Amino acid sequence: MASSDGTPPILELRAFRYTYLEGTPRAVEAVREVSLKIRRGERVGIVGPTQSGKSTVVDAFAHLLRLKPGQVFYEGRDVAAPGYDRQELRRRVGIVFQRPESQIIEDVVGADVAFGPTAAGLSAAETRERVEESLNTLGLPYPDYRLRYVHALSGGQRRRVAIAGVLAMRTPVLVLDEPMAGLDPRGRRELLELLVRLQRDRDLTLIVCSASLTDASLLCDRFVVLDRGSVVADGPAREVLGESDRLAGLDITLPEPVIAARELRKAFPDFPTELLTEEELEAELVQRIGVS
Ligand SMILES: Nc1ncnc2c1ncn2[C@@H]1O[C@H](COP(=O)(O)OP(=O)(O)OP(=O)(O)O)[C@@H](O)[C@H]1O
Ligand SMILES: [Mg+2]
């Protein structure tokens, strides 16, 4: 379906459903029905507890599943239609998978980040430029890191190499599946700052999967909440946070201001929960107790 300006969504799932090992006794219905339109330039957090189907949705965007026609669309074109150019999809949608190890191909950092651009047929000079830019952007200065062995890096550094490899493809869409998982608080903070800067400086459509609304709220302004393979909420971040009772029943991490607001409801039953920052929480509190 087209928007008011006539352009189709950049990515769309239409009643997408997916069952692993379909037709066998071990069949798992991973996604029951997800319909989702993502417009160019949106920053969407796909949030849900473990096994809710987030990575299956990501694999659908990557065209890694046995997709049936009529379910997954890039710029209005059905990616499972006969004759669809999957290479085109790969040039458009960059994906950092949940386990960075699964996408690091080369032993040496520079070679790994160069893999995508080289495979896409870019010249050596342009590839080098992109590798340098991507590593620098990710806080891995090119001269210091290009010859380092991937296996000798920390988990957080390895994740950055994986992200650099995807950035070097300069895709208009960037999908990050659990980018913060397994990082210590400092690693999380650094990566968050980096991603915030990246998304601000480039005209990216960003999709971030996470079991934490805290992480998603720092990067995204729209949340799609999944539970057991279905969408249970979809809307602007604030609107979704306002329905905190529903969210509290799911095994996801709520932002600190939302948790605090829920506590404060015991004293102030009308206390709002659509709060994104500590400042907003404080302002609401000051209004009610009349001091600052
Ligand atoms: N390759 C597979 N074969 C069989 N079942 C699978 C496969 N991959 C995922 N599943 C199942 O599909 C369901 C959804 O999994 P998925 O990985 O999409 O969830 P998720 O929300 O990404 O979870 P997590 O937060 O743990 O990463 C789960 O029940 C999972 O066990
Ligand atoms: Mg996952």
Domain coordinates of the chain in residue numbers? 11-254
Q: Which amino acid does the sequence have at 71?
A: Q
Q: Identify residues whose C-beta is under 5 A from ligand 2, the ion.
A: 54-55, 98
- Model pLDDT, residue 260: 94
Distance CA 56, CA 280 (A): 35
- Model pLDDT, residue 180: 87
Ligand 1 mean position to 29 CA, how many Å?
9
Ligand 2 mean position to 39 CA, how many Å?
23
CB atoms within 10 A of CB 82: 6
Distance CA 118, CA 128 (A): 9
Question: SS3 of 180, please?
Answer: coil
Which CATH number is associated with domain 11-254? 3.40.50.300
Closest CA to 116 of 101, 142, 95, 136: 95
Q: Tens place of pLDDT for every residue, the chain, 292 residues?
A: 455 678 999 999 999 999 999 999 999 999 999 999 999 999 999 999 999 999 999 999 999 899 999 999 999 999 999 999 988 898 899 999 998 778 888 999 999 999 999 998 999 999 999 999 999 988 899 999 999 999 999 888 998 999 999 999 999 999 999 998 878 888 888 888 888 888 888 889 999 999 999 889 989 999 999 999 999 999 999 999 998 888 989 989 899 999 999 999 999 999 999 998 999 999 999 999 876 5
- Model pLDDT, residue 205: 94
User: CA separation (Å) from 21 to 16, 65, 72, 184?
Assistant: 16, 11, 20, 35
Distance CA 36, CA 25 (A): 30
Ligand 2 mean position to 265 CA, how many Å?
33
Q: Which of 18, 31, 54, 99 gets mutated to test ligand 1 (max ligand atoms within 8 A of its CB)?
A: 54
Q: Are 1 and 42 in contact (CB under 8 A)?
A: no
* Ligand 1 atom with minimal separation from the 178 CA: 27
Largest CA distance in the chain: 66
Taking CB atoms and a 6 Å cutoff, what residues make up the pocket around ligand 1?
A: 20-21, 28, 30, 48, 50-56, 98, 211
Closest CA to 188 of 156, 212, 152, 231: 156
Ligand 2 mean position to 80 CA, how many Å?
22
- Model pLDDT, residue 3: 57
